[in-house]
Amino acid sequence: MKRLFIAALSLALLLASLTIEAKKKVKEPEVPQMMNYPSAEIDKNLLHGGDVVIQGRLVIPEEAKGEKIPQDVLDKINGRFTVIMRDYLVNKEKTSVIEFKPDGTFSMNLHVPYPKFVLLYPLADVYACPGDTVDVTIDTTKPTREEGIIIGGTGVSGEVSKLTYKIGMTFFPPQQSLDIQNQDSLMKWKDEQVEKLDNLVRNMNEGLPELEGCSPLASDILRTYILWRRLYNICHEYDLFVDGNDSIDREAFWQQYFSFVTPREKYLLDNQLLMIAGDDFFFNRMEFTLMRPFNPHFMSTHEIWEKNKELLQDKLHLSPTNFSWQVCRLRDIFTVLKWYKTDFDAAAEDIAQALPSITHPELIRRAVLTYRDYVKENEIKVVEDKPMTKGDSIFQRIIEPYKGNVLYVDFWEMSCGPCRATMLHMRDQVEAHKDKPIKYLYITDDTPEHCKSFLEPNNIKGEHIHISRSEWGYLQEKFQFTGIPFVVLFDKQGKLRKDATVDQLLNE
């Protein structure tokens, strides 16, 4: 009996030992890391700004050639051709209209603060690196976009611009909106996206056939573009789910949802290639999802960022000042600066509090230059005689009949839901001020026939002004706006006023 007991005990110990060994052999799947990335050390001068030439031609049918490009040809590219350049570091954008010559050719110099993607509206994103040329051919006689738009150029701008659309369609084809019901379904979707991200990293390490023949720098930029697009999508769905959702433990869910970032931090966040491959949309999502989950109104901006820095370190075990965090911190600083106007001491104090957390040399340089520009822009200016632009001429023609009145000018389109909602909201004010020296100008590039179904049944009063799409582009350039509704106010002397309300202007 004793021998039987000893044998059973020995067998049990052996099985236990084997079980322990088996458990030791079961490992968590290894998170793949980017290899040969970056391909070479980034030259610090690459992060500086300069001019890039954007040139090309609009192919015009022989029978349509004349002194100017026919409107029906322009309508095939939405009636206007503009370049929208967003400086995501300082939350600014610049809109420029491209002028076509009668033969359909065009050329312009665009200053970019650092190599970056810019939008050629309504065609595509192109890459703009100082010293390069971007070439664009728009053939409106071709049946498809792929056949009709050819993008190329010199240097890294030409390489990246040529491949951006193809890369986007290959790795991020259009998909239907997601049906996310609860936290569990969102987490399941997120895990699927992380698995796709890891597979992308493995594929990139083996070599993407789409990048074959690219220079090392162009390959680095496009690989980074693929990485941030995947992370952007994950952050975007999180933002949609938690926005206004008070039933969840926000901090706990944030920690659970973004735990995947930690082992991938080196290439997803702490990556200076993001400066020249990311864009405004990416860093906006980073700022308001991952980097700033804690945003109480009773704290100063600096205190909020310090609290969030602690959360990143304690809850997610991320570097508290990784490269993306520094970019987001800078974005916030220069957004807040707009509120200070000429209170330079308060602005300087805000920057002094934040700068110790900014360690990347190029980001420090950009911060100093931007603060200098902020002071210049807000100091008392000497009035200069500037040549009238085409946008000035168009706008003066529009407002000429209403001189001597306060002007409320609203740029809108029928496709814009917030635009229509704003006009409905303004009906009472328009009625209340009908006998006062104020005119409400609603400017759109939609046709009167298209707008009639909304304006008439809803009794939208005011001055309804319909302009061509090309004129709309020049007004975008004049007022530097891309999003709508966009409203500007002018006093009775015709001066643009950003510091007053309608009632204040009427009472002056």
471 within 8 A of 387, measured Cβ to Cβ: no
Angle subtended at Cα 192 by Cα 191 and Cα 196, rounded to the nearest 5 degrees: 115
Size of the chain in residues: 508
315 DSSP 8-state letter: T
String of DSSP letters for 101-138:
PTTSEEEEEEEESSSEEEEEETTEEEEE-TT-EEEEEE
For the stretch 222-242, pLDDT in tens is 999 999 999 999 999 999 998
186 within 8 A of 240, measured Cβ to Cβ: no
The full set of domain ranges for the chain reads: 44-171, 291-381, 390-507
Average of per-residue pLDDT across 191-213: 95
HEC per residue, 225-237: HHHHHHHHHHHHH
pLDDT at position 382 = 46
pLDDT at position 368 = 87
Query: Which CATH number among 3.40.30.10, 3.40.50.720, 3.10.580.10, 1.10.40.30 corresponds to the domain 390-507?
Result: 3.40.30.10
Amino acid identity for residue 10 in this structure: S
Angle subtended at Cα 424 by Cα 422 and Cα 430, rounded to the nearest 5 degrees: 95
pLDDT at position 10 = 57
Give backbone dihedrals phi and psi of 73, rounded to 5 degrees, phi first. Answer: -75, -45
- Which of 439, 411, 433 minimizes the C-alpha distance to 423? 411
- Which of 258, 370, 383 minimizes the C-alpha distance to 318? 258
205 vs 207: CA distance, rounded Å: 5
190 within 8 A of 242, measured Cβ to Cβ: no
- Residue 80 CB burial class (10 angstroms; 0-12, 13-18, ≥19): buried
% of residues, the chain, pLDDT over 70: 91
pLDDT at 5 over 70: no
pLDDT at 72 over 80: no
For the stretch 35-62, pLDDT in tens is 999 988 888 788 899 999 999 998 877 7
CA 122, 125, 130, 133 torsion: positive or negative? negative
Instruction: Report the side by side order of strands in the sheet with 92-97.
Output: 92-97, 82-87, 116-121, 124-128
pLDDT band per the 50, 70, 90 thresholds, residue 187: very high
Strongest mean pLDDT among 168-172, 246-250, 367-371: 168-172
398 within 8 A of 468, measured Cβ to Cβ: no
Q: Does residue 485 have a cis bond before it (omega within 30 degrees)?
A: yes
405 vs 408: CA distance, rounded Å: 9
42 vs 217: CA distance, rounded Å: 9
CA distances from residue 396 to 182, 281, 303, 392, 401 in whole angstroms, order as listed: 53, 34, 46, 6, 9
3-class DSSP state of 83: strand
pLDDT at position 385 = 56
Average pLDDT, the chain: 87
Tokens of 391: 């946008």
For the stretch 442-495, pLDDT in tens is 999 999 999 999 999 999 999 999 998 888 989 999 998 888 999 999 999 888
- Which of 254, 224, 230 minimizes the C-alpha distance to 318? 254
pLDDT at position 60 = 79
151 within 8 A of 134, measured Cβ to Cβ: yes
For the stretch 122-170, pLDDT in tens is 888 999 999 999 999 988 788 777 788 899 999 999 999 999 999 999 9
pLDDT at 9 over 60: no
For the stretch 394-433, pLDDT in tens is 999 999 999 999 999 999 999 998 999 999 999 999 999 9
pLDDT at 17 over 70: no
149 within 8 A of 166, measured Cβ to Cβ: no
CA distances from residue 122 to 72, 78, 146, 287 in whole angstroms, order as listed: 16, 7, 14, 27
pLDDT band per the 50, 70, 90 thresholds, residue 26: very low
109 within 8 A of 52, measured Cβ to Cβ: yes
For the stretch 171-184, pLDDT in tens is 988 877 777 888 99
Average of per-residue pLDDT across 270-299: 90
What is the reported pTM?
0.81
